[in-house]
Amino acid sequence: MVLRETKKNEQPELTPERQGRDFAFGRLNYILLLCSVGLLLIGFILMVGGGSTDPNVFSYNLFSFQRLTLSPILIITGFVVGLFAIMMKPKD
């Protein structure tokens, strides 16, 4: 009975520019992820405020365009960009 030698799959040697650079995402993915975090921060900062210091006086600034429309649009856009950045396949 003849035994066959099986070769183990050896990993190819990394070139000097690729050594130590095995990141989960590509550069564009990280840039888009940072942009999404920035959009989320801006959206949440725009949503802050509008309250009244006097409990007997109602402030209508609570219902401004900035807090009801612009801020949620920025937050949803930030989540969509973040999801796209995670799901996008990096170009090698």
pTM, two decimals, is 0.70
Q: pLDDT tens, 48-91? A: 987 778 888 888 888 899 999 999 999 999 999 999 999 998 77
Q: Does some domain include residue 74?
A: yes
Q: pLDDT tens, 2-19? A: 677 666 666 666 666 656
Q: How many domains does the chain have?
A: 1
Q: Does some domain include residue 16?
A: no
Q: Does some domain include residue 83?
A: yes
Which range marks the domain in which residue 69 is found? 27-50+61-87
How would you class 36 by CB atoms within 10 Å of its CB: exposed for 0-12, middle for 13-18, buried for 19 or more? buried
Distance of CA 52 to the CA centre of its chain: 34
